[in-house]
Amino acid sequence: MRLVTAVVKPFKLDEVRAALEAFGVHGMTVTEAQGYGRQKGHTEVYRGAEYTVDLVPKIRLEVLVDDADAADVIDVVVKSAQTGRVGDGKVWSVPVDDVVRVRTGERGPDAL
């Protein structure tokens, strides 16, 4: 099993979610996050004084998937989140040792 984590532009959340649903992913966890990459932040001006906003609002989206699906899920996210401009975000996956469904106690792939 793998944990796929995506950091994307907030306005892309609905598209990414719809694409994942269509692919067959039935659960995810979404977090409002802040950060920056090559996009850097932006500058605001208050009474002539510049205020630098280093951290840009982002959405962090996490999905647990079977090993076999991981690459495809990443592709789905990349396709649906892409605008081609800086700040589109990143997607990565890491191996997961164990997963338990709290309600039933099922373990491993059955719990996905």
Partner 1 sequence: MTSHISSGDTAWMLASSALVLLMTPGLAFFYGGMVRARSVLNMMMMSFACIGVVSILWVLYGYSLAFDTDLGHGLLGGFGELGMTDAVNQVTGTVPVPVFAAFQLMFAIITPALISGAIADRAKFGAWIVFAVLWTTIVYLPVAHWVFMFDDGNGGWLGDRLGVLDFAGGTAVHVNAGAAALALTFVLGRRTGWPREHTRPHNLPLVLLGAGLLWFGWFGFNAGSAVAANGTAAIAFLNTQVATAAGLCAWILVERIRDGRPTTLGAASGAVAGLVAITPACAAVSPLGAVAVGLLAGALCAVAVGLKYRLGFDDSLDVVGVHLVGGALGSVLIGFFATATVTGGPSGLFYGGGFAQLGKQALAVVVVGSYSFVGAFLLGKLVDRTIGFRVSVEDEVTGIDQVEHAETAYDFQSLGAGHRPPLGGAGAPVPAGAGAHSVTQGDGDGPTGEGTSDSTRSVNA
Query: Is residue 44 involved in binding partner 1 (CB under 8 A)?
Result: yes
Q: Which residue in 32, 38, 40 sits closest to 61, CA to CA?
A: 32
Residue from 10, 22, 24, 32 binding partner 1 (CB under 8 A): 32
Phi-psi region of 14 (alpha: psi -120 to 50; beta: other; left: phi over 0): alpha
Compute the distance between CA of residue 71 and CA of residue 93 in angstroms, rounded to an integer.
9
Query: Is residue 28 involved in binding partner 1 (CB under 8 A)?
Result: yes
In terms of CB distance, is 27 or 105 closer to partner 1?
Answer: 27
Task: Give residues in contact with partner 1 (CB under 8 A).
Answer: 17, 26-34, 44-52, 55
